[in-house]
Amino acid sequence: MRMKPEQKQAARAAIVEAAGRRFRLEGRAGVGIDGLAAEAGQTSGAIYAHFGSKAEVFAAVVEAGLQRLNAGIARTRATGGAWVAAFAAGYLSRGHRRSVAEGCALPSLSADVARAPAEVRQVYADGLDRAIRALSEGCAGATPEQRRAQAIAVLALSAGGILLSRAVPDGPLAEEILAACKAATSSLVEPMDRDASA
């Protein structure tokens, strides 16, 4: 029996979500199609019904991960006020540090993306550029160029802070890394409230 288009789309999305968890935990090289299928509760054949290769699954995971990042930025921006600081504080949280499988793609997948084919790197670059443009609207620089540079720094501090804090054991150093990155990001955003629609 053939799947309806909406069923096929839902099945593909479930595979991408499950694969994202495994890739974040084990890296692109650390899991094969059989492992991705097991995580998704599917057969390997079901994976190949939607994707031609593990590389295609990874590309879809990267795209979905950047879409999630941008959706998170949009949700935080809608709260108004000093929303970039709020975004960074939420990103640089203990919960995000501990939630590798469900966390942002930037700290978990960037190293694998750097070794991926050009088309995957372009998908990543496009999503990252959208995030930079959105975050720049809440930064404190006097010019668009300054605000863009500050947005890049916020993302780099946020993703880098999570990555470094995950690389050390739970304890004071992990907390110190998160706190230092939060403090650094706060200097890049307007101290007064900005209109979220600015």
Please give the structure tokens belonging to residue 48: 């190949």
SS3 139: strand
- Are 102 and 109 within 8 A, CB to CB? no
Looking at residue 1, what is its pLDDT?
53
Q: Does residue 39 register a pLDDT over 90?
A: no
Task: Tell me how many degrees the CA angle 130-135-137 measures, rounded to the nearest 5.
Answer: 110
Q: Average pLDDT in the 43-70 region? A: 93
Mean pLDDT on 169-176: 97
Q: Which of 146, 156, 135 is nearest to 198 (CA)?
A: 135
> What's the pLDDT at 26?
93
What letter would DSSP give residue 197? Answer: T
Note the pLDDT of residue 37.
86
**Of the ranges 30-34, 52-56, 120-124, 194-198, the best mean pLDDT one:** 120-124
Summary mean pLDDT of the chain? 91
pLDDT per residue as tens digits for the range 8-30 = 888 889 999 999 999 999 999 99
pLDDT band at residue 189 under the 50/70/90 scheme = confident
The pLDDT of residue 4: 76
% of residues, the chain, pLDDT over 70? 94
For residue 183, what are the CA distances in angstroms to 136, 180, 188, 194? 18, 5, 9, 19
pLDDT of 42 above 80: yes
